[in-house]
Amino acid sequence: MQEKIQLNHFSLISRLFGNLFYRQPTDNILSGVFTWLQQHQLSEVWPLTEDAESQQALDALQMPIDLTLLEKEYQKLLGEKGAVATQISAYDISVADFENFRRRTAKEKEELAAVITQNLLTDLLPLLDNFERAMAVEQSDGEAFQKGVEMIFTQLREVMEKHGLEHIEAEGKPFDPNVHQAVMRVENPDVEDGTITQVLQKGYQAKGRVIRPAMVQVAGN
């Protein structure tokens, strides 16, 4: 018979704050997060429509927590004799080999980044040349100057798209925390809760990775 897995409070919080997982619950930073949650601050900034399941999750995250009890649960998981091993040697991996692997992969990433940067800069050089030519000529025709700037802008956009840059759709779309950053929440009875009503700053992604999330205003009735 398969053993039923139960999530304690600490493991639930850890899934939300993954980068804080190895901090003890009584750590100043993590305990501050718990205090913030217990004040129902998360509910106040939550931009999405709350169905029964999401409301239950919010309530669970914001429930009063006994840090002393939480510390005991932490020790059961990650303490010196905890259920989860935190030492590399516990997984039959040589520490020296692991460090060599980290150095090798870091060097490979640096070399790859240098090549990518060089290729991008090479493609951008013609735009730099065009800007310098435009600035070197005395402008008496404002319309012609504007047209020249528009042509350079089009050229820049094409270069960026060539390297995989994509505009993140936002206005009129449901809010997605993976690609959107909500900075304002306004009432708008004409649209559903969680709908983006205005884009304050465009967002971009490249090859499936978000470079900059779209800064948006979200409807919250």
Overall average pLDDT of the 107-123 stretch: 82
Residue reference for tokens 């692997």: 101
Q: Which domain holds residue 211?
A: 164-221
Kindly report, residue by residue over 149-169, the tens digit of the pLDDT.
888 888 888 888 888 888 899
Same domain, 18 and 81: yes
State the pLDDT confidence band at 59, using cuts at 50, 70 and 90.
confident
- Whether the predicted model's global pTM rises above the 0.95 cut: no
Domain boundary among 65, 86, 107: 86
Same domain, 101 and 81: no
State the pLDDT confidence band at 86, using cuts at 50, 70 and 90.
low
According to the model, what pLDDT value does residue 114 have?
83
Distance of CA 39 to CAs 42, 60, 124, 192, Å?
8, 13, 50, 27
Domain boundary among 141, 163, 185: 163
How wide is the angle at C-alpha 213 spanned by C-alphas 38 and 40, nearest 5°?
10
Residue reference for tokens 């004799």: 81
> 3-class SS at 42?
helix
Residue 14 in any domain: the answer is: yes
b/e for 100-123, b at 16 or more Cβ within 10 A?
A: eeeeeeeeeeeeeeeeeeeeeeeb
Query: Which amino acid type is present at position 118?
Result: Q
Is 47 a residue whose pLDDT tops 80?
Answer: no
96: enclosing H helix or E strand: helix 95-136
197: enclosing H helix or E strand: strand 196-201
